[in-house]
Amino acid sequence: MSRASSPPLDPVAVSEDLTPLPSLKKAGNADIDFDGQLDQPLKIHEDARSGCGGQTWPAGLVLGKHILRYHRRELQDARILELGAGGGLVGLAVALGCGGGSSLLLTDQDEMLQLMQHNIRLNGVESRASALVLNWGEPLPEAVVQQRPNVVLAAECVYFEPAFPLLMQTLKDLFVLNDEAVVYFCFKKRRRADMQFVKMAKKAFAVDEMFDEDRPVFSRQALFLFSFQSKTAANANKAAAANGKANGANGMHKS
């Protein structure tokens, strides 16, 4: 039995009564340094004619800044996948700011493919980044299977309730592919139903709300920042941390 394809996530198809969208901007280029986190600003071409993902959304700015501020070193050699990348704001920020030997796959629906490819070229990261179509709920593309990403970025992927089960399926598939992957997830709550996705995630994964010194600012805008891990990996990490503390205590006692 084949799984359902992702529904079209298009500003015309999604009622604004259902999910308020940001004001659509005119097509053009923007330079974004994530409040000084990037020495060389990210160049991003925005074009909402290709869909609502064609422009920057608040959760992408929050997630990009968070990753650059707190996770820069650990992502230097990571295998990174961005889901629902739109123009590639978060993934490309990581590619510019983290450097090293990291590899990056920007993914979204077919309507976004040319925009993702354009922004990869615009920032000169063709050697480490590529774009491809990944429809939530469908089998993972071969390029993703080969990459086995250990870091997944997802910003502003919660705004269309019929797509929640499809996004959940894709996240589960990614954890099957790599049980030790970490998902960094940020979204803006626009409707009460949006929190249903978090409840779904907590049943399937180990979910933690991440520390960020800017939380008092962005939480007032109903922005939420989480990490997801497989429950197996999270339990193993907790056990390792507990053993480390116990060994440390024993060493102090012996000395």
Residue 106 — φ and ψ, nearest 5°?
-90, 130
193 is in an annotated binding site: no
Q: Cα separation of 84 and 94, whole Å? A: 15
* Both tokens assigned to 23: 């004001």
100 is in an annotated binding site: no
Q: Cα separation of 182 and 205, whole Å? A: 10
Give the rounded distance of the alpha carbon of 190 from its chain centre. Answer: 18
Only one residue has tokens 């907790």, namely 238
The beta strand positions in the chain, using DSSP E, are 28-32, 42-46, 79-83, 103-108, 129-133, 151-155, 182-188, 206-209, 223-229
48 is in an annotated binding site: no
On whether the CB atoms of residues 67 and 214 are closer than 8 A, the answer is no
On whether the CB atoms of residues 152 and 184 are closer than 8 A, the answer is yes
88 is in an annotated binding site: no
Q: What angle separates helix 194-204 from helix 164-177, to the nearest 10 degrees?
A: 30
DSSP code at position 156: S
47 is in an annotated binding site: no
- Which 3 state secondary structure label does DSSP give 106? strand
The amino acid that residue 194 corresponds to is: D
Q: Cα separation of 246 and 251, whole Å? A: 9
86 is in an annotated binding site: yes
57 is in an annotated binding site: yes
Residue 222 — φ and ψ, nearest 5°?
60, 35
- Per the annotation, where are the binding residues? 57, 84-86, 108, 136, 155
- Per the annotation, where are the binding residues for S-adenosyl-L-methionine? 57, 84-86, 108, 136, 155
